[in-house]
Structures are given as C-alpha cells and as structure tokens.
Amino acid sequence: FEPSRGGRGNDVTEIERGRHSSAPNNQKSGGSNYTMADGSGRFIKYRGLLYPLNLWAVTDYYRTDYAFSN
C-alpha cells in the first residue's frame, strides 16, 4: 500500500504469483508456494493471492478493500 500512488501498492507487479506455472511461457497459470504466519506452507493458485482477499494486507479493511481482481 503506497499512499503516494493514490492508495495502490505494487502487489500486482512485484509479487511472483505464477512461479510454478502449469503451462510453459504462461506466467498467469499455476501458482506459487507461500509460508504462512502459522508456520504452514501452502500452494496458492495464481489468482488466489490477491483476490477475493489480498493476503499481503495486514488489516481486514485492506484485505477486502484493496483486493485485486486481475
């Protein structure tokens, strides 16, 4: 979240959400492995990290109001 950008962060452009791609040369398929605060590890599909909840957000408000649909 960056107030200088009108409240938009760089989550969409800087997070590698398709590291484990199911199709060669397609960065918007597959997903990536993430370590959670409880110590567990989870595979999250490409679109599942920022929508319907923004899992990078710290508060409930930002998890819902700053979720990205792309």
Which residues, at least 6 apart from 44, have a Cβ–Cβ distance to it below 8 Å?
17, 31, 32, 33, 34, 55
Which residues does residue 21 pair with via DSSP β-bridges, in sequence order?
A: none
62 versus 67: the higher-pLDDT residue is: 62
Q: What is the pLDDT of residue 39?
A: 94
Q: Which DSSP letter does residue 44 get?
A: E
pLDDT digits (tens, 9 = 90+) for 2-20: 556 565 666 666 666 666 5
Give this prediction's pTM. 0.55
Residue 57 has pLDDT above 90, yes or no: no
Nearest-angstrom CA–CA distance, 59 and 37: 14
Q: What is the pLDDT of residue 33?
A: 85
pLDDT digits (tens, 9 = 90+) for 20-46: 566 666 556 678 888 888 999 998 887
Going from the C-alpha of 59 to that of each of 49, 56, 64, the distances in angstroms are 15, 9, 9
